[in-house]
Amino acid sequence: MTVELRPITENNWHDCCKLKVADDQKRFVATNSISLVQAAYEKDLLPLAVYDGEAMVGFVMFSKERHPQWGYWIIRLMVDEAHQRKGYGRATIKEVLRRLGEWPDCAEVFISEVPDNVIAARLYESLGFVKTGELMGDEVVMKYTFSARDGQGDR
Ligand SMILES: CC(C)(COP(=O)(O)OP(=O)(O)OC[C@H]1O[C@@H](n2cnc3c(N)ncnc32)[C@H](O)[C@@H]1OP(=O)(O)O)[C@@H](O)C(=O)NCCC(=O)NCCS
């Protein structure tokens, strides 16, 4: 299994909007349609489709430039319900960290999840994110620090 993050274009945006999570996961993440509209107006966001070969399996969106107040965030991650539990979520976050780790002004990356999204929190923790003790709205904030960790994503 390999993942590749590719741009959203006129050729794949509709496939991206058709990806969906399970009904009981819908409260954990905005729809991809909403995320793409958000990215159209919030120019500091980079929306990318997650591919395994020619199959689009998920979606991720993160800061492509440093937000003056919030720094760098991974603001969206979803894997289509048909493709979950195959390692795509983990591989996607690793690839995003690898990319952000190449940017000289990115020392930390933030992510957040609703408090009972235990699967997401466990995944992020296992990759080196730690809870900051802060909330962003109703969501628990976690932080990855590049210098604090060896391996994938480290610089
Ligand atoms: C969170 C999410 C992106 C994970 O994607 P995924 O491709 O299924 O994750 P992976 O296959 O890489 O698995 C990562 C870990 O989570 C575990 N996991 C994933 N889904 C699980 C489930 N339903 N139940 C129990 N464990 C689960 C895996 O076993 C794996 O653990 P391990 O590495 O210790 O073996 C996916 O479940 C999803 O899209 N959820 C709905 C949206 C969401 O919550 N997004 C995050 C918002 S903060």
Interval 88-106 mean pLDDT: 96
Mean pLDDT of 70-86: 96
Domains (range + CATH), the chain: 4-148 (3.40.630.30)
- What's the pLDDT at 69? 79
pLDDT at 138 over 80: yes
* Pocket around ligand 1 at a 6 A CB cut-off: 21, 25, 28-29, 77-79, 84-90, 113, 117, 119-120, 123
Q: How far apart are CA 21 and CA 88, in angstroms?
A: 14
* Range 111-132 average pLDDT: 97
**How is the beta sheet containing 45-52 ordered, strand by strand?**
4-7, 45-52, 55-63, 73-79, 108-113, 139-145, 130-136
What's the pTM?
0.95
CA angle 114, 56, 21 (to 5 degrees): 30
Tell which atom from ligand 1 comes closest to the C-alpha of 88: 7
